[in-house]
Structure 1
Amino acid sequence: MKRILILNYEFPPLGGGAGNATHYLLREFSGYHDLEIDLVTSSVDEFKIEKIYKNVTVHFLNIGKKNKRLHYQTLKDILVYSFKAYFYSKKLKKRKNFDFCHAFFGIPCGYIAMKLELPYIISLRGSDVPFYSKRFYFLDKILFKRLSFKLWKNAKKVIANSEDLMLLALEVNKNQKIVVIGNGVDTQEFKPLEKKLFTRPIKAISTGRLIERKGYEFLIEAISGLQEMELELIGDGRIKDKLKKIAKEKNVNIKFLGKKSHDQIASYLQRADIFVLPSLNEGMSNSILEAMSCGLPIIMTDTGGKELIKNNGFIVKKGSAEELKLALTRFVNEPRLILEMGKNSRELAEKISWKIASREYRKIYDLI
């Protein structure tokens, strides 16, 4: 029996891709009866312990969120989690006698794992890699780059979720050994409608936090002037009002649908025609995988996850409204591409599952 401590400050309904990835991986790990897993994560309201599977227990620590901005963790949220997770996990370690720790995010969770003096592996998710996000630029420069070097060097294994994220991480230490294990997708939860009617206007959709890094300003500008296209944005964030103002000025046919629970997303994707990810930086986007699984062609920027685009969409330059418009116009002028590339997306998604991802993680677990 292997006893594993998993640390992640995000877990549904808190957070985004990393939380959902942990959720799906735990579901797959529930089938491994020789694993006993404890996840220490954040709560939206109060401290609680839930046994979600026979061999998986989740410890929710109250970090004072009070159901506010669930999609986004502030620096204060992360610091409160770090403090509480360290002392809670230290007590838990005495009772559980863990074999090792799996830390999602090098900072803060990898640091907590190192301080617990457990063997540990780190799953890099994006924002924890120095210079991935402008939000942490100065901290990356004066502290996190050196700290990441140490954390990764001492880890039993460092895992990135995309080739691009691995390359960015190697800028911290070119000699660091990093393996890539991509995200998966639940092809039963996310699947195309059996009978879908194509109508005008063409509906483009994007899901994600409304923050600068997601590049939505460029997408809104790209859609301006395309009378045969409408846009739906699912998500919330600090630049929502700014985006609404830009959309009004550009006279764009757009619907801001707000944040939706993860189990609502599939129905919106199924009714759309094209998925667009205009991000300035990404690790491996769960959103792209879910859109592919729903049979949507993809337009994405040249960032993490672009290896998923194989005759099922277009890759455009980051921060270029012009290239986004050209790709969108292709679908307006050649609607057959929506069906052809959408079919290719679904076929590719069927080869990418959380079961496969969990097997890759299990191989690493067995080496520790």
Structure 2
Amino acid sequence: MEVLTLTTNENAPFMIQQQAALEERGVSFSTLSVGGEIGNGTSRSPADYLRFFPRVRREAREGYDLIHAHYGLTAPMALAGREVPVVLSLWGSDVHGPVAPVSRACVPFCAAVVVMSPEMRRAIGTGEVIPDGVDLALFRPRDRNEARERVGWNGEGYDVLFPYHPSREVKDYPRAKRIAGVADALLDRPVRLRTVSGVDHDRIPDYMNAADALLLTSHSEGSPNSVKEAMACNLPVVTTDVGDVRERLRGVSPSVVARTDDELIDGLIGVLERSERSNGREAARTVSIEATADAMHSVYERVCGADAVGDGERSVDPAVRPDAR
């Protein structure tokens, strides 16, 4: 099976891992990424997307079995001409943010739509639930003292991991800083908010094994990878009630899903005072990269053998009921 991938971020770890797992199942990929500069505080211009159109049109004629469009803004390019069926993976902000109208307009014309959570499916009215998978061989519990040495964290106190750049508004760093600050004032031992970004993905497990808790204060999410990766490392999670985190963390202890600042503060203090690792790894097995790659491969096979367009109702997440709408 030959697949043309369209993406706004060719270096997205979860997409790279998914492709590698699918290649083991006989799928070959060619990837085109939207050009233009993007980084902290900057974004692509409409001209960057317009220049992407002819590149996609030329490449789509090269005999691919399907096009897999990652993120809603690549969907119009994938559908232009419609030489082959299109699978659209929505990431979260393209369902809940300003890009949502583009995503919604393209959904009816796709052979399959993949979303990360039941919440996203409810928002667009359709979609197959396949969360991004976690590499359980990479993200696993390790010796904490050794991990702290590798990341250079020393001293007494608590280390709270915030694995995003502070400039990413949707992650709400000011709220995380405020929550950690109050916890620091109320606890006898210092609480340090460790902001980690721009490091190789392979190093993230060291930070998760070195930390006492993961703090997620996002306004919105689809199925946040950091939560699932923390679960795989048995790192306790304190998070706002966004995306599928409540479903993922069901039965995981210690961990807290909160709605208000007071709940976040109480939850973080409680987790830190317990000073225990969680039991999250067992729950993370339902979203291993192997399980989610199998689900995506089934979508590919169905789409390539289907004549009809737009049958996107079945949930392929074993943790989600088919009628969870």
- Counterparts of 2:144 and 2:256 in 1: how far apart (Å)? 25
The structure-2 alpha-carbon separation of the partners of 1:194 and 1:234, relative to structure 1 and needing over 3 Å to count, comes to: closer
2:306 corresponding residue in structure 1: none
Q: Per-residue CA shift, 1:221-259, capped at 9, x if unaligned?
A: 122214422210113xxxxxxxxxxxxxxxxxxxxxxx2
Question: Offset at 1:345?
Answer: 1.0
Q: Structure 1 residue 184 and structure 2 residue 184: aligned?
A: no
Q: 1:204 aligns with which of 160, 176, 179?
A: 160
1:362 corresponding residue in structure 2: 297
Describe how 1:267-346 pairs up with structure 2 within 5 A.
267-306=206-245, 307-312=247-252, 313-317=255-259, 320-335=260-275, 338-339=276-277, 342=278, 344-346=279-281
Contact 1:124 1:159 in 2 (8 A): yes
User: Please, which runs of 5 or more residues in structure 1 have no aligned partner?
Assistant: 13-18, 43-62, 171-176, 236-258
Q: Per-residue CA shift, 1:321-352, capped at 9, x if unaligned?
A: 221111012124333xx23xx2x112222342
The structure-2 alpha-carbon separation of the partners of 1:329 and 1:271, relative to structure 1 and needing over 3 Å to count, comes to: same
Q: Structure 1 residue 352 and structure 2 residue 287: aligned?
A: yes
The 3-state SS of whatever aligns with 1:350 is helix
Contact 2:57 2:80 in 1 (8 A): no
Query: Alignment length, in residue pairs?
Result: 286
**For structure 1, which segment, 201-210 or 84-93, has the greater mean C-alpha deviation from structure 2 after superposition?**
84-93
Contact 1:122 1:158 in 2 (8 A): yes
Contact 1:86 1:116 in 2 (8 A): no
Normalization by structure 1: what TM-score? 0.72
Identify which of structures 1 and 2 has the higher relative contact order when contacts are C-alpha pairs closer than 8 Å and 6+ apart: 2
- Counterparts of 1:323 and 1:37 in 2: how far apart (Å)? 45
2:172 partner amino acid: G
Contact 2:117 2:243 in 1 (8 A): yes
- Counterparts of 2:3 and 2:267 in 1: how far apart (Å)? 45
The 3-state SS of whatever aligns with 1:101 is strand
1:5 corresponding residue in structure 2: 4
The structure-2 alpha-carbon separation of the partners of 1:201 and 1:213, relative to structure 1 and needing over 3 Å to count, comes to: same
Contact 1:205 1:232 in 2 (8 A): yes
The structure-2 alpha-carbon separation of the partners of 1:363 and 1:192, relative to structure 1 and needing over 3 Å to count, comes to: same
1:238 corresponding residue in structure 2: none
Q: Structure 1 residue 150 and structure 2 residue 105: aligned?
A: yes
The 3-state SS of whatever aligns with 2:93 is coil
* Structure with the largest fraction of strand: 1
1:166 corresponding residue in structure 2: 121
- Counterparts of 2:286 and 2:109 in 1: how far apart (Å)? 34
The structure-2 alpha-carbon separation of the partners of 1:288 and 1:110, relative to structure 1 and needing over 3 Å to count, comes to: same
Q: Structure 1 residue 219 and structure 2 residue 176: aligned?
A: yes
Question: Offset at 1:180?
Answer: 0.4
Q: Per-residue CA shift, 1:119-161, capped at 9, x if unaligned?
A: 21111101211xx23xx3xxx5xxx52x433311111111111
1:234 corresponding residue in structure 2: 196
| CA RMSD after TM alignment | 2.3
2:289 partner amino acid: W
Question: Offset at 1:263?
Answer: 2.0
The 3-state SS of whatever aligns with 1:128 is helix
2:111 partner amino acid: K
Normalization by structure 2: what TM-score? 0.81
1:119 corresponding residue in structure 2: 85
- Counterparts of 1:115 and 1:149 in 2: how far apart (Å)? 16
The structure-2 alpha-carbon separation of the partners of 1:157 and 1:321, relative to structure 1 and needing over 3 Å to count, comes to: same
The structure-2 alpha-carbon separation of the partners of 1:195 and 1:150, relative to structure 1 and needing over 3 Å to count, comes to: closer
The 3-state SS of whatever aligns with 2:162 is strand
1:150 partner amino acid: A
1:92 corresponding residue in structure 2: 59
The structure-2 alpha-carbon separation of the partners of 1:272 and 1:212, relative to structure 1 and needing over 3 Å to count, comes to: same
How much identity, in percent, do the aligned residues show? Answer: 21
The structure-2 alpha-carbon separation of the partners of 1:31 and 1:230, relative to structure 1 and needing over 3 Å to count, comes to: same
1:20 partner amino acid: P
Q: Per-residue CA shift, 1:52-102, capped at 9, x if unaligned?
A: xxxxxxxxxxx343xx72x676032x641x2333212222223x2122211
- Counterparts of 1:222 and 1:150 in 2: how far apart (Å)? 39
1:314 partner amino acid: V
Q: Structure 1 residue 75 and structure 2 residue 44: aligned?
A: yes
The structure-2 alpha-carbon separation of the partners of 1:187 and 1:73, relative to structure 1 and needing over 3 Å to count, comes to: farther
Contact 2:5 2:69 in 1 (8 A): yes
